[in-house]
Amino acid sequence: MISITGLRKSFGAATVLNGIDLEIRQGEVVSVLGSSGSGKSTLIRCINGLEKIDAGKITVDGFDVSKPRELSEARKRSGTVFQLFNLYPHMTAVQNVALAPIEVLKLPRMQAEAEARELLHSVGLTERADAYPSQLSGGQRQRVGICRALAMKPSYLLLDEVTSALDPEMTSEVLSILAALAKTGTTMVFVTHEIEFARSISSRIAFLDKGQLIADLPTEEFFSATGMALPRVAQFLSKMRKD
């Protein structure tokens, strides 16, 4: 379980997350929605320890991410997929995927690379396994990014707008992989602007507004009268649907 209680985060004078309580249990797919600047990326970056939190507590399977010793355990349990892929440019797809299993899990290189090839095969990149990131399309790069996160066999997958740098065709190739992952029970925290997709794969929707979690509802409730009763949610959804 990822457990977030009383999370506060400021950048200088600006409070970006203002008292967040959120739990993500094994097997759930939680989509985090909210308008630009509402703090979604910051929330993800707090969970994986890229940002120091100012108050509150975040634990991943009981490991406190604010404690340096526990952070590495917490990080072993969650994988992050980034908006801009952030692949290692000097390594091939296989090397990108196998690096952490070799260095962190201490798998033998042969085994790690074999598993990496299998993962790449599962996302349709059998032929591109030995290509460098610069030789791949955006959609292919993001599929490598997903494999890299999955290679650590994480209990939780954190995804921050993983398709927003992609064109529609590439977006759908990445989304179909995520849909398959959701079906197989991978726990995901999914930050997105793809409302309809979020609706189709999520068990719950968390809605951030100016650093506060103003809704945390089962998906169908969120998209029904219960969600619409919240003015900010209604406003957000109508704006997103227009775009």
Q: Which residues contribute to the site for ligand ATP (CB under 6 A)?
A: 11, 16, 34, 36-42
Beta strands per DSSP E along the chain:
2-11, 14-24, 29-33, 55-60, 63-64, 78-81, 156-160, 187-191, 204-209, 212-218
**Among 235, 210, 234, CA closest to 222:** 234
Spacing of C-alpha 63 from chain mean position: 19
Considering the rule CB under 8 A, would residue 79 count as an interface residue with another protein? yes
Of the pair 34, 101, the CB lying nearest ligand ATP is at 34
Q: Residues 236, 211, 31, CA angle at the centre, nearest 5°?
A: 55
- Residues 112-151 touching another protein, rule: CB under 8 A, are 132, 134-137, 140, 148-149
Residue 86 interacts, among another protein, Mg ion, ligand ATP, none and using kind-specific CB cut-offs from 5 to 8 Å, with another protein
Stretch that binds another protein, among 2-10, 27-35, 79-87, 116-124 (CB under 8 A): 79-87
Number of residues that bind another protein (CB under 8 A): 29
Query: In the bound complex, what is the minimum distance in angstroms from residue 14's beta carbon to ligand ATP?
Result: 6
Instruction: Note the residue count of the chain.
Output: 243
What sign does the dihedral 213-219-223-225 (CA atoms) show?
A: negative
Considering the rule CB under 8 A, would residue 187 count as an interface residue with another protein? no
Residue 219 interacts, among ligand ATP, another protein, Mg ion, none and using kind-specific CB cut-offs from 5 to 8 Å, with none
Question: What amino acid occupies position 99?
Answer: L
| CA–CA distance, 221 with 57 (Å, rounded to integer) | 28
The residues, any chain, with a CB within 8 Å of residue 63's CB and separated by 6 or more, are 70, 71, 73, 74, 77
Query: In the bound complex, what is the minimum distance in angstroms from residue 147's beta carbon to ligand ATP?
Result: 24
| CA–CA distance, 233 with 215 (Å, rounded to integer) | 8
- Residues 9-38 touching another protein, rule: CB under 8 A, are none
- 179 CB neighbour count, 10 Å cutoff: 14
Residue 231 interacts, among another protein, ligand ATP, Mg ion, none and using kind-specific CB cut-offs from 5 to 8 Å, with none
Of the pair 31, 92, the CB lying nearest Mg ion is at 31
Query: In the bound complex, what is the minimum distance in angstroms from residue 119's beta carbon to another protein?
Result: 14
Considering the rule CB under 8 A, would residue 200 count as an interface residue with another protein? no
- Residues 42-71 touching another protein, rule: CB under 8 A, are 48-50
Residue 202 interacts, among another protein, ligand ATP, Mg ion, none and using kind-specific CB cut-offs from 5 to 8 Å, with none
Helix (H/G/I), strand (E/B), else coil: 207: strand
**Where do contacts with another protein occur on this chain (CB under 8 A)?**
48-50, 72, 75-76, 78-80, 82, 84, 86-90, 99-100, 103-104, 132, 134-137, 140, 148-149, 152
